[in-house]
C-alpha cells in the first residue's frame, strides 16, 4: 500500500448519507487529516444531513458542518479510493465497484435516524453512533498502513468493524 505523496482517499458509504457516513467523513478529516482525505456518500441520498448529526458534529466535536450535504455515490464513481468503508448493511450489499481496487470493509453501525422517543433520546442515539465511528477511526488511524501488505491490511480494516460490533453488542446486552 505504499503511497509516497499525498493523503490516501477514503469513502464512507451508507444508504441515506445523512448521519453515519457523514460522521465518518468529518471525524476522519478531523482525527487523521494529515494521512487521509475523507468523503461520504449514499446509495439513496436523503437530500439533507440529519439535524441531530449536525448538532453532534457542532457541539460534541466542535466541527463546523456547514458544508455537509447528502450526496449520491454516483458523484464518486470515477474517483479512485484507497479505502471504501460501508457503515450500514444496505450499502454493504449494494456497494458499487470503484476504480483503483480500494480496500473495502464493513463497519456496521445501527441507524440513529431510526431512534424513537424525545429529542434527548434521539440525540443520545446519534451521539452513540458518532462515538462508535470515532473509536473505529481511532483504531484505523493507528494502523501502520505504510508497512502492511494489502491482504493483511484488508483483514485488519475489516476486523475493526467486526471486533467493535461484537464489543458494542456485548456492552448493550449488559446495559439492557
Beta strands 36-42 and 103-106 are unpaired
Q: Is the pLDDT of residue 58 over 50?
A: yes
Range of weakest confidence among 51-55, 64-68, 165-169: 165-169
- Residue 131 is predicted with a pLDDT of 97
Q: Is the predicted pLDDT of residue 42 greater than 60, yes or no? A: yes
Inter-CA distances, 37 with 28, 151, 164, 172, Å: 8, 22, 23, 32
For β-strands 83-86 and 36-42, DSSP reports them as unpaired
Computed over every residue of the chain, the mean pLDDT equals 88
In eight-state DSSP terms, residue 99 is T
Looking at the predicted structure, is the pLDDT value of residue 164 above 90? no
SS3 category, 33: coil
pLDDT at 3: 47
Mean predicted confidence (pLDDT) in 65-94: 86
Between residues 115 and 173, which one has the greater pLDDT? 115
Model confidence at 115: pLDDT above 80 = yes
pLDDT at 19 over 60: yes
Q: Which of 40-44, 54-58, 93-97, 168-172 is the least confident region?
A: 168-172
Q: What is the pLDDT of residue 165?
A: 63
Q: What is the mean pLDDT of residues 26-44?
A: 95
Strand, helix or coil for residue 147 = helix
Amino acid at each position: 500500500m505504499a503511497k509516497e505523496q499525498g493523503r490516501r482517499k477514503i469513502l464512507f458509504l451508507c444508504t441515506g448519507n445523512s448521519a453515519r457516513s457523514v460522521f465518518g467523513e468529518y471525524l476522519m478529516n478531523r482525527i487523521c487529516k494529515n494521512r487521509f482525505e475523507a468523503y461520504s456518500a449514499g446509495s439513496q441520498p436523503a437530500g439533507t444531513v440529519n439535524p441531530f448529526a449536525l448538532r453532534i458534529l457542532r457541539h460534541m466535536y466542535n466541527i463546523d458542518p456547514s458544508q455537509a450535504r447528502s450526496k449520491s455515490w454516483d458523484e464518486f464513481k470515477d474517483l479512485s479510493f484507497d479505502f471504501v468503508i460501508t457503515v450500514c448493511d444496505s450499502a454493504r450489499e449494494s456497494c458499487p465497484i470503484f476504480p483503483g481496487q480500494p480496500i473495502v470493509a464493513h463497519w456496521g453501525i445501527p441507524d440513529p435516524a431510526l431512534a424513537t422517543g424525545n429529542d434527548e433520546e434521539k440525540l443520545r442515539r446519534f451521539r452513540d453512533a458518532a462515538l462508535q465511528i470515532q473509536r473505529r477511526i481511532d483504531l484505523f488511524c493507528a494502523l501502520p498502513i505504510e508497512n502492511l501488505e494489502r491482504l493483511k491490511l484488508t483483514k485488519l480494516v475489516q476486523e475493526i468493524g467486526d471486533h467493535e460490533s461484537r464489543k458494542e453488542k456485548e456492552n448493550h446486552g449488559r446495559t439492557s
